[in-house]
Amino acid sequence: MATVASAGERALIDRIRARLRNQPSFLTLGIGDDAAVIEPSRGELDVITTDSLVEDVHFRRAWTAATDIGVKAVAVNFSDLAAMGATPRAVLLSLALPPALPLADFDALVDGVVSATEAAGAALAGGNLTRSPGPLIVDVVAMGSIRRRRMLRRDGGRAGDQLYITGPVGAAAAGLGMLEAGVERQSLDADARECLARYERPAARLRCGRLVAASRSATAAIDLSDGLAEAVRQLAEASLCGAALTAEDIPVHAGAIAWCKRAGRDPIEFALAGGEDYELLFAVPARRRRAFLAAVGRSGCRECVHIGQLTSESGVWIQRANARIPFPDGFRHF
Amino acid sequence: MATVASAGERALIDRIRARLRNQPSFLTLGIGDDAAVIEPSRGELDVITTDSLVEDVHFRRAWTAATDIGVKAVAVNFSDLAAMGATPRAVLLSLALPPALPLADFDALVDGVVSATEAAGAALAGGNLTRSPGPLIVDVVAMGSIRRRRMLRRDGGRAGDQLYITGPVGAAAAGLGMLEAGVERQSLDADARECLARYERPAARLRCGRLVAASRSATAAIDLSDGLAEAVRQLAEASLCGAALTAEDIPVHAGAIAWCKRAGRDPIEFALAGGEDYELLFAVPARRRRAFLAAVGRSGCRECVHIGQLTSESGVWIQRANARIPFPDGFRHF
């Protein structure tokens, strides 16, 4: 079987180049030189982020198709751009490849990266290939742009701002749970299949982030990569506030509720702690509520809901029936 | 012993932040949000590159101090910027960390990254931390800027252009050979110690790349990361030329010559094939020679030498005594 080791570095780079379609005019110099050269967007700031997927930490090759790994590696980065309100322009792909990786998997992974990148109007501009003596590591860098006055940060929230999320939570964690439990894909209903899809092929809320940023209706934003609880905690702490959520307002995905029933888990705790829902969390002052919801509506995002507010009292809490309980921890990488 | 796993992700990020000194005004938003935000340099293009160091492929923890790994991870990226003539502005650091990595090694590695970054006037602007079930991987992204008309590419060379390199070669490969052979550091002479230093703590030729770019005297440039032979081959191929070197003109480092004698290797072949000499290779038209050498001199680079020329005939050759022989292969990652 052909492997990345048998192909050689130059042939791998040629295979990447052969897959590129979108070479926008701002890409002055793409793959093939010592560095990529990009013309900045006039009057805008550069926004840059990096995030990686590590085999056996973030994915298992036995569970997830190589294309999906590529799609997800881009989506997790674009989600960070979405949380700033930025528009993606360029991606760099840095791969640490086990020598025995089948060439077909390499091609599929690159296909996933290129399709997710180009679907957002961005270009794969460069990167790096190296050998890995251990896991496959897919490290993506995403660059975007935003006007200075539109930039969304996580530290701009104020006590009294209302908290919204752009869609149901717990779905990705339920999808991961199903993979870990070895469920048969054929046996799954539509809700469960959606949970798997959210875990395997997340889509960043780029349009929503951009339109909310343009409306200047939100004071702060963050994505839910590390879970809802962690996102609320980090936004609140950065904004020097506390936060209070109401359990019954939290939209737990139907597939996650069904999964929790089967697994004997509490759906609210599951949804608060579960990571990898690439939704966005916004803090919105009451007087900007209509402008915010109008921007969200224009983005095509139909499931945005109010879940609580920032408080002057510090600490992050959830009101549940008559009890007020502190947040569980989110996903930690160590 | 304290490890990165016992410290936890947030504490690690705090430890990075505590080490930062240089937060230039163009860094609108640094570590701590979903993405970094950077104000582009007015009238200039963004130059961006990524390169990684993988444990047991590019370094061994038993051989190399953690600080040096950090310094080198930045230098290999800055060398790519130098080859474009660009000035570094920002760095992102993406680490895949074995959980048992001692916290002291993490701190030292970050110290190396920050010191190399800030020494070049750039800022550590963001990054990512994740767990690795295998090797330590240090993935660095470097961003810089350059004026459009000054940009150095590898594909601008023309037949007849003269080839220059900025310093002696073979030193880093000799340093690696010494480490592999388990030499005693105390027993080494000054030349041999310099070979080790070139391997372990390379410095990118940033000032030389920038001043040559500003002088617009070179038609093409590339760095020697993958060895002299590979650099000449890639610059020539990208420029649709061939190349001819003269063996006696190639400046093999004194420590590498001594190492080859001991190891029974041919110094010229060793120096052509050996990678990781972070010198630059320039193609210079004869009529720009004086401007080029003046720019190199202003950069403080004292060891720049002429090694051959680009040819209209394709293929890359070296003239040695009375024989004309094809190039050996450079370092390949697979």
Query: Which residue does chain A place closest to B81, by CA atoms?
Result: A35
Q: CA of B258 to nearest chain A CA: how many angstroms apart?
A: 31
Provide, as residue numbers in chain B, all residues whose Cβ is less than 8 Å from the Cβ of A151. Answer: 28-29, 37
CA distance linking residue B203 with residue B279, whole number of Å: 9
CA distance linking residue A9 with residue A142, whole number of Å: 23
* pLDDT one-digit tens code per residue, B297-309: 999 999 999 999 9
Q: How confident is the model at residue B100, as a pLDDT?
A: 96
Please tell me which of the candidates A33, A97, A154 has its beta carbon nearest to residue B34.
Answer: A154
Q: Which residues pair with B254 in a beta bridge?
A: none
In Å, how far from its chain's centre is CA A125?
21
Of B333 and A189, the one with more pLDDT = A189
Q: Does A212 contact B at CB distance below 8 Å?
A: no
Provide, as residue numbers in chain A, all residues whose Cβ is less than 8 Å from the Cβ of B96. Answer: 52, 54, 137
DSSP B150: G
Q: Identify the band that residue B104 occupies on the pLDDT scale cut at 50, 70 and 90.
A: very high
Residue of A252, A245, A232 whose CA lies nearest to A170: A252
Given a contact cutoff of 8 angstroms between Cβ atoms, the answer to whether A286 and A235 are in contact is no
Residue of A249, A295, A251, A286 whose CA lies nearest to A162: A286
Which of B3, B15, B37, B219 is most worth mutating to test chain A (most A CB atoms within 10 A of its CB)?
A: B37
The ipTM, to two decimals, is 0.95
Provide, as residue numbers in chain A, all residues whose Cβ is less than 8 Å from the Cβ of B48. Answer: 35-38, 90, 92, 125-126, 141, 143
Q: CA of A222 to nearest chain B CA: how many angstroms apart?
A: 7
* Placement of tokens 């010592």 in the chain: A34
Average per-residue pLDDT in chain B? Answer: 95
CA distance linking residue A104 with residue A261, whole number of Å: 39
Least confident of A27-31, B184-188, B248-252, B330-334: B330-334
Q: Does B12 contact A at CB distance below 8 Å?
A: yes
Q: Identify the band that residue B332 occupies on the pLDDT scale cut at 50, 70 and 90.
A: low
> Cα–Cα–Cα angle for A29, A127, B15, nearest 5°?
120
CB neighbours of residue B18 within 10 Å: 9
Q: Does B43 contact A at CB distance below 8 Å?
A: no
Q: How confident is the model at residue A327, as a pLDDT?
A: 81
Please tell me which of the candidates A48, A99, A134 has its beta carbon nearest to residue B134.
Answer: A134
Residue of A84, A226, A218 whose CA lies nearest to A157: A218
Q: How confident is the model at residue B326, as a pLDDT?
A: 86
CA distance linking residue B44 with residue B150, whole number of Å: 10
Cβ-in-10-Å burial (0-12, 13-18, 19+) of A200 comes to buried
Query: Which residue does chain A place closest to B56, by CA atoms?
Result: A133
Please tell me which of the candidates A32, A133, A333 has its beta carbon nearest to residue B134.
Answer: A133
Residue of A186, A162, A185 whose CA lies nearest to A175: A185
Given a contact cutoff of 8 angstroms between Cβ atoms, the answer to whether B332 and B323 are in contact is no
Helix (H, G, I), strand (E, B) or coil at A262: helix
Per residue, the 3-state secondary structure of A59-95, as one string, reads ECCCCCCHHHHHHHHHHHHHHHHHHHCCEEEEEEEEE
Per residue, the 3-state secondary structure of B223-257, as one string, reads ECCCCHHHHHHHHHHHCCCEEEEEHHHCCECHHHH
Q: Does B20 contact A at CB distance below 8 Å?
A: no
CA distance linking residue B26 with residue B38, whole number of Å: 6
Residue of A199, A165, A190 whose CA lies nearest to A275: A199
Q: Identify the band that residue B139 occupies on the pLDDT scale cut at 50, 70 and 90.
A: very high
Q: How confident is the model at residue B1, as a pLDDT?
A: 84
User: B87-97 and B137-146: which strand pairing?
Assistant: antiparallel
Q: Does B184 contact A at CB distance below 8 Å?
A: no
Interface of A with B in 222-251 (CB under 8 A): 222-223, 238
Q: How confident is the model at residue B327, as a pLDDT?
A: 81
Please tell me which of the candidates B79, B83, B128 has its beta carbon nearest to residue A51.
Answer: B128
DSSP for B198-229 reads HHHS----HHHHHHHHHHT--SEEEE-TT-HH
Given a contact cutoff of 8 angstroms between Cβ atoms, the answer to whether B54 and B182 are in contact is no
Residue range B250-274: average pLDDT?
95
CA distance linking residue B9 with residue B11, whole number of Å: 6
Per residue, the 3-state secondary structure of B281-316, as one string, reads EEEECHHHHHHHHHHHHHCCCCCCEEEEEEECCCCE
Query: Which residue does chain A place closest to B53, by CA atoms?
Result: A130
Residue B333 has pLDDT above 90, yes or no: no
Q: Which residues pair with B18 in a beta bridge?
A: none
Sheet holding A45-54, edge to edge: A123-131, A87-97, A137-146, A45-54, B36-38, B27-29
Q: How confident is the model at residue A321, as a pLDDT?
A: 85
* Dihedral sign (CA B226, B229, B234, B239): positive
Query: Which residue does chain A place closest to B230, by CA atoms?
Result: A10
Sequence-ordered list of residues with C-beta below 8 angstroms from that of A121, at least 6 positions apart, any chain? A22, A24, A87, A88, A89
Please tell me which of the candidates B35, B80, B92 has its beta carbon nearest to residue A35.
Answer: B80
CA distance linking residue B15 with residue B108, whole number of Å: 11
pTM equals 0.95
Cβ-in-10-Å burial (0-12, 13-18, 19+) of B22 comes to middle
Provide, as residue numbers in chain B, all residues whose Cβ is less than 8 Å from the Cβ of A113. Answer: none
For B121, B146, B181, B281, the CA distances from B208, given in Å and listed in that order, are 15, 14, 34, 11
Q: Does B9 contact A at CB distance below 8 Å?
A: yes
* Placement of tokens 């920002």 in the chain: B90
Cβ-in-10-Å burial (0-12, 13-18, 19+) of B200 comes to buried
CA distance linking residue A331 with residue A231, whole number of Å: 10
Q: Does B60 contact A at CB distance below 8 Å?
A: no
Q: Does A25 contact B at CB distance below 8 Å?
A: no
User: What is Dmax (Cα atoms) for chain B?
Assistant: 64
Q: How confident is the model at residue A212, as a pLDDT?
A: 98
CA distance linking residue B316 with residue A9, whole number of Å: 20
DSSP for B159-196 reads TTPEEEESS-BSHHHHHHHHHHTT--GGG--HHHHHHH
DSSP for B103-131 reads HHHHHHHHHHHHHHHHHTT-EEEEEEEEE
Q: CA of B134 to nearest chain A CA: how many angstroms apart?
A: 5
Interface of A with B in 261-280 (CB under 8 A): none
Q: How confident is the model at residue B129, as a pLDDT?
A: 96
Cβ distance A130 to B52 less than 8 Å, yes or no, reads: yes
Interface of A with B in 95-114 (CB under 8 A): 96-97, 99
Cβ distance A137 to B137 less than 8 Å, yes or no, reads: yes
* pLDDT one-digit tens code per residue, B207-248: 999 999 999 999 999 999 999 999 999 999 999 999 999 999
Given a contact cutoff of 8 angstroms between Cβ atoms, the answer to whether A260 and A273 are in contact is no
Each of the 334 residues of chain A gets a pLDDT tens digit; together they read 899 999 988 899 999 999 999 899 999 999 989 999 999 999 999 999 999 999 999 999 999 999 999 999 999 999 999 999 999 999 999 999 999 999 999 999 999 999 999 999 999 999 999 999 999 999 999 999 999 999 999 999 999 999 999 999 999 999 999 999 999 999 999 999 999 999 999 999 999 999 999 999 999 999 999 999 999 999 999 999 999 999 999 999 999 999 999 999 999 999 999 999 999 999 999 999 999 999 999 999 999 999 999 999 999 999 988 888 888 665 555 5
Given a contact cutoff of 8 angstroms between Cβ atoms, the answer to whether A122 and A186 are in contact is no
Cβ distance B133 to A134 less than 8 Å, yes or no, reads: yes
Q: Which residues pair with B242 in a beta bridge?
A: B311
User: A87-97 and A123-131: which strand pairing?
Assistant: parallel
Residue range B259-264: average pLDDT?
95
* Placement of tokens 């030292």 in the chain: B108
